[in-house]
Amino acid sequence: MNQITHRLRAGFRASAALLFVVVLAVSAGAPADAQTAKWEALIRAGNTAYQKGDYRLAQQQYDLALVEAQRIGKESKEVATTLNNLAEVDRNLGEYKRAENRLAQALLIQEKKFGRSHVDVAETLNNIGALLLEERRFADAIGPLTRALDVRDRLLGGAHPDVAMTANNLGRAHQALGRLSQARYLYERALVTVQKTLGTDHPYMAATLNNLSEILLVEGNVAKAEEMVREALKIDERVYGKEHPRVAVDLNNLSAIIRKTKRYEEAEAFAKRSLAITEKYFGMDHLEVAEILDNYAVLLREVGRAAEADQMSLRSTRIKRSAKSSG
């Protein structure tokens, strides 16, 4: 997934995207005025595109929603909501700096409107932390995620799916910094909470299984790690279909685990499928593609296909350099 105190196998990733809040619900209760109704319709259109993995279309709809939100009020709750959703789309498109700016703006609006201890503030803090994880800024992610978890614990209670979401993300940050006991505690807490509140067939369960499986893999429990990721794959395929980028994350992780058991043909089949899905959704030059290429290259080297591995590593390096220079 990331780095702990040493480099783990290339390409192992948890389902971070699942743990980044996109506000799918819009206002309920009293009838909306015409301006708010227009904003809500655009948010719904963006949500539909996002859930299908069509991030460019989602971005277009959310951009239009932002215009309408600003007409409601420059510092309205609708503006903050739309900025959060746009930031998640930006993250999926590799536009990290833009995502950071949107989230910072959303947080300023929410803290001014609601104060520092509010569920909307916690939502944005969680999203900031998730973005920092994506950028591998693990130490920087600890602060916003710890604060988000504290607010959610106090306002929502421990047995709430949003608490599980943030616990999962904070666990990833601690794991990347080598704090495996803290990470395991947070993952196990998230797993119990998701089972109680959402059931065993929810995407949050898949994300938690992915994260906890890496701890097990580090501890040498390869069989249990594989079992967990296979279950995550089943969940995500049922929820999103077989060609979704979150399925690609599961496939990449499963390939990395199976490679440990030297079942190379099976591992390569999963790696190929993961790469094809990721390229389809993100394009050929996205950081998500580089993650898959790194994993695939390790596999190819282990089976003696060094020339192919070198080509994949070179392509991955070029993608990362391009992303760094543009970020």
Helix (H, G, I), strand (E, B) or coil at 312: helix
The reply to whether 79 falls in a domain is no
The reply to whether 43 falls in a domain is no
Angstrom distances, CA of residue 120 to CA of 50, 84, 97, 111: 20, 10, 22, 9
pTM of the model: 0.77
Q: Residue 298 corresponds to which tokens in the numbers above?
A: 């390790």
How many CB atoms are closer than 10 A to CB 100?
A: 18
Separation CA 76–CA 94 (nearest Å)? 27
Give residue 65's pLDDT band: very low, low, confident or very high (50, 70, 90): very high
Helix (H, G, I), strand (E, B) or coil at 31: coil
Q: Residue 33 corresponds to which tokens in the numbers above?
A: 């005025």
Per-residue pLDDT tens over the stretch 140-157:
999 999 999 999 999 998
Total of domains in the chain: 1
Q: What is the CATH number of the domain that holds 311?
A: 1.25.40.10
Separation CA 131–CA 255 (nearest Å)? 25
Give residue 282's pLDDT band: very low, low, confident or very high (50, 70, 90): confident
pLDDT surpasses 70 at 239: yes
Separation CA 182–CA 204 (nearest Å)? 19
The reply to whether 7 falls in a domain is no
Q: Residue 173 corresponds to which tokens in the numbers above?
A: 């940050």
Provide the CA 68 distance to its chain's centre, in angstroms: 27
The reply to whether 91 falls in a domain is no
Domain that holds residue 275: 231-327
The DSSP H or E segment spanning 86 is helix 77-92
pLDDT of residue 158: 81
What is the average per-residue pLDDT within 115-126?
Answer: 94
The reply to whether 193 falls in a domain is no
